[in-house]
Amino acid sequence: MSKEQRTHRLMILGAGVMGVGIASLGVGFGLRVTLVDVDEAKLDHARRKIRQELKLAQLMGALPEGVPRGELVTTVSMEEGAEATAVIEAVTELAEVKAAALAKVSALVRPGTPVVSNTSSIPIDELADSVARPEDFIGTHFMNPPYLIPMVEVIRGRRTGAAAEATLASVLAELGRTALVVMDNPGFVTSRVLHPMINDAIRVVREGTAPPETVDALFEGCLGHRTGPLRTADLIGLDNLADSLRVLHERTGDAGCEPDQLLLDKVHAGHLGRKTGRGFYDYGRNPS
């Protein structure tokens, strides 16, 4: 698709790991992206990180050839992105924080503009209570890093309208992503299956059955997992994983979703995975 054929403009809320990753994807595929965060310093860091991710994505052949990069605007004001054709909220995985951001932005944009929550676990219909027009509200679960994972889990809420779903499908097509639509439940498909499994792997490490390297090697060599559960946890972010597990535990009652104490200890110590340079593995320096 040529630049002239690209019709979408994105507003992304939150300049954390996922917000930056989705912004990099949008810019890399030629879309205009307005990245909003309340913290100017975080936006400064986001601009540098997006430049780094675009260079890496280009080297890895993950961006389309012949498509000029889109414009990136960073701002603390949602109003600067009010003309977006779609909003993607990617703030921290806490329901109350997401609800506040969604309430504000949904009242700002034009009716018919899809407001999308990028969440790993929180039910879409629960968050829909906060938005101005639930029929315009839908969920996604981009995987990290978005420019390398070609598939996106799309969550249709009970009140999601057909127009919002169709527009989101158009946005994802312009981003070169394949959408798979699932129905709404805590954790949807990927997190509901993957995160308790990672929690079990962490428990195995805490109990002394095997170190992280052995657990991951067994999953890679015996089960065909590309990275293993502990390296995957470090990539997700151990704080994000703990938040997601809490959501699952609170909303499903599944005891296997209660975050393992070793995970909580690492979060408390600030060892959050790749983004801080240390998690279940030591990455030598802060990779961000």
Helix (H, G, I), strand (E, B) or coil at 55: helix
Helix (H, G, I), strand (E, B) or coil at 9: strand
Here the CATH number for the domain that contains residue 236 is 1.10.1040.10
Cα separation, 130 vs 214, in Å, equals 44
Helix (H, G, I), strand (E, B) or coil at 50: helix
Judge whether 285 lies within some domain.
Answer: no
Q: What is the pLDDT of residue 3?
A: 45
Number of structural domains, the chain? 2
Q: Which domain holds residue 146?
A: 3-183
Number of Cβ atoms within 10 Å of the Cβ of 65: 6
Both tokens assigned to 51: 């430049």
Same domain flag for 165 and 82: yes
Q: What is the pLDDT of residue 173?
A: 97
Cα separation, 145 vs 18, in Å, equals 8
Could you tell me the CA-to-CA distances from 56 to 21, 63, 148 in Å, in that order? Answer: 12, 10, 10
Side by side, which strands form the sheet with 137-141?
Answer: 72-75, 32-36, 9-13, 86-89, 115-118, 137-141, 151-156, 178-183
- 5 burial (CB, 10 Å; 0-12 / 13-18 / 19+) is exposed
Here the CATH number for the domain that contains residue 84 is 3.40.50.720
Q: What is the pLDDT of residue 5?
A: 62
Q: What is the pLDDT along the chain (288 residues), one digit of tens a residue?
A: 444 467 899 999 999 999 999 999 999 999 999 999 999 999 999 999 999 999 999 999 999 999 999 999 999 999 999 999 999 999 999 999 999 999 999 999 999 999 999 999 999 999 999 999 999 999 999 999 999 999 999 999 999 999 999 999 999 999 999 999 999 999 999 999 999 999 999 999 999 999 999 999 999 999 999 999 999 999 999 999 999 999 999 999 999 999 999 999 999 999 999 999 999 999 986 554
Cα separation, 240 vs 106, in Å, equals 25
Q: What is the pLDDT of residue 53?
A: 96
Number of Cβ atoms within 10 Å of the Cβ of 255: 8
141, 195, 249, 271: the catalytic one is 141
Q: What is the pLDDT of residue 284?
A: 82
Both tokens assigned to 216: 């991951």
Q: pTM value? A: 0.91
Same domain flag for 131 and 51: yes
Cα separation, 98 vs 184, in Å, equals 17
Both tokens assigned to 160: 């999601």
Q: What is the pLDDT of residue 2?
A: 45
Backbone angles phi, psi at 34, to 5 degrees: -105, 115
- 141 burial (CB, 10 Å; 0-12 / 13-18 / 19+) is buried
Same domain flag for 142 and 200: no
Same domain flag for 166 and 137: yes
Considering 183, 211, 229, which residue would you say is the last residue of a domain?
A: 183
Active site residue 225: no
